[in-house]
Chains A and B, each alone.
Chain A
């Protein structure tokens, strides 16, 4: 919480510094923005390409690009691994100081804030087979500002061995079934709670959005000009989530420390939670030997008014305006988004490929759990690509916490949220 408040203060400071330093900038956005995409030169990439990548990706990428360097003997790729913690601050300051690398790894939700520092993607780079939602996150005013690298979505993780004990043959596909299962887990397998759901704090609204989307609710209208947060479908889905807390099927104040949900799933205390692909290796690690057969994943159950739809995100690769070697940078990005290379990247760090044809590779078809992610990715939505979304999301987190923990009326809370969102606007 504190860190995010600090980050917000930092963002304001960085933004005002950008405004000040923006006056002295050589290029105006009109010159570099818009549809004026550069073209890639013929022939191999040359020179030095600097890349910043976060966490595991940053650690593994330097070795991974060796085949690219072999194919382009005159190129040298220099990867700097950047910690995830405060990574946005690092990029923001680098932009303000003009010390950006050629390529940055940008979370798909960062795009609205970073697009002004990025160059449009050359037309030569083909993203037609990339998951449409991932391309959508990079699209502003008819130009693409980054190339999707990997994607992720949220599905439900559950204990397969306890499923039978709870009297279920397969994972339920609708809301009623999910609740019955949560109750059965609690009553028949000795679980403390049936499911772990976000009850408050940062991104708790976003964490529950898959249920709202699966019930046909929308955060905004199609062209992102109006907030639609108090729709009957939204009320219905939050009331559904709230019933888990009211009936004691979910903990009102769970431990939100990283790894605690997986620890509870391993111990059987809470046998279900909603999470992303990183928890497949995470649970295998936490559960130790023999646990890999005891958990499964399932797509988000559909609500009465919709079809299963989850939250999707991922990371994109963008080239900065101040890049010294944009041509070679785009060639590296082009290579990284080849389907075959994407499948090898999945083997290296478990990142789900953004290129859909990479999913036919054996590396991805081997684990049925990965296939469930592939299935869910066919029906996903992303958070709004607006600068004001961060504020609306924070306001929503507060309302959600008041509903789930404080017993506030769902309709009242959402009406309040809608008027807050209206006053914040869409920033357009």
Chain B
């Protein structure tokens, strides 16, 4: 935040409204944080206390049972590794492929370019459930059911990513690219040395969107992973906490803490880049 110079009279007039703004922000902050605080506190409560009416805020009895369930009885390490591998490769692949396609659609001239771009936009409109079963049939015909490629490949070049990168790269001045071309740089060199360094904010946005999508994805991993050692975290969370007729809230909350904490830490560490990225792409 850059400080805005204000005249004394403006400051006086601004004060009551500023109090209001801060009050509103505090309420919004509380509304955002309270569910997280509730989740963390709930994860160390007993099942009986979680279901108690009226609910308790601070745990009456601390228990680590919900966490020991995840680390003892349930094999959280395997699920965690699966989630990390799938998310990492999905993000990397998406960044590479979407920026390549986006660059071609934004800056290169080739026959059928408009048709290709229109097709990308059209696939953006097709809801996932429509292609879900055919996609699974393809994966099973390729013999990839219950493998990492099945969990990763379908998400490597999403239309949203292509669209995002194309829009961002389009705004990079042509003269920069032409200058590089005059200096004798090839297409790949231009892409890597001129275009990519300018795409930082867009790449950061795409990375975080893809990561969250992959980390939280439930239905596809559920269907494709046909043995428990290929389950990802959301599938495992659903398996062990949500029954047909009842929910084990303690295990659910402890599992949620374990799933969300790495993402939260990642966000805090990389916060600056994300805000930059979202602000930069959001303006257009």
Contact = CB atoms under 8 A, between A and B. Distances in A.
Given A83-B235, A93-B223, A259-B249, 13 more contacts: A13-B130, A83-B239, A86-B222, A89-B223, A90-B223, A97-B137, A98-B140, A99-B140, A258-B245, A258-B246, A264-B53, A278-B246, A286-B47
Nearest to B248: A285
B48 interface: yes
Given A59-B240, A80-B228, A288 B133 contact: no
A285 B48 contact: yes
7 contacts: A55-B239, A56-B243, A86-B219, A93-B223, A97-B133, A98-B140, A286-B51
Interface string B226-266: 11100000010011101111110100000000000000000
Nearest to A6: B129
Nearest to B73: A59
A80 B133 contact: no
Nearest to B132: A13
Given A83-B235, A89-B223, A90-B223, A263 B243 contact: no
Interface of A: 6, 9-10, 13-14, 17-18, 21, 54-56, 58-59, 78, 80-86, 89-90, 92-94, 96-99, 101, 107, 258-259, 262-264, 266-267, 269, 275-276, 278-279, 282, 285-288
A265 B57 CA distance: 21
A101 B227 CA distance: 10
Main secondary structure of the interface of A (DSSP, over half): helix
Interface in B164-199: none
A413 B223 CA distance: 40
What band does the interface of chain B fall in when counting residues whose beta carbon is under 8 Å from A? 35 or more
Interface in B128-176: 129-130, 132-134, 136-137, 139-141, 145
Contact of B53 (A101, A266, A276): A266
B218 interface: yes
Interface of B: 46-48, 51-53, 127, 129-130, 132-134, 136-137, 139-141, 145, 218-219, 222-223, 226-228, 235, 238-240, 242-247, 249
Given A90-B223, A93-B136, A10 B51 contact: no
- Among A94, A97, A98, A101, max chain B CB count under 10 A is at A97
Contacts of B246: 258-259, 278-279, 282
A9 B52 CA distance: 37
Contact of A13 (B48, B133, B242, B245): B133
B53 A83 contact: no
A287 B48 CA distance: 6
A55 B222 CA distance: 13
A89 B223 CA distance: 8
A263 B51 contact: yes
Contacts of B249: 259
A97 B145 CA distance: 9
A86 B139 CA distance: 19
- Among A10, A83, A94, max chain B CB count under 10 A is at A83
- Among A80, A264, A275, max chain B CB count under 10 A is at A80
Contacts of A83: 222, 235, 238-239, 242
Given A59-B240, A84-B243, A85-B238, A14 B51 contact: no
A99 B239 contact: no
A259 B247 contact: yes
- Among B137, B139, B244, max chain A CB count under 10 A is at B244
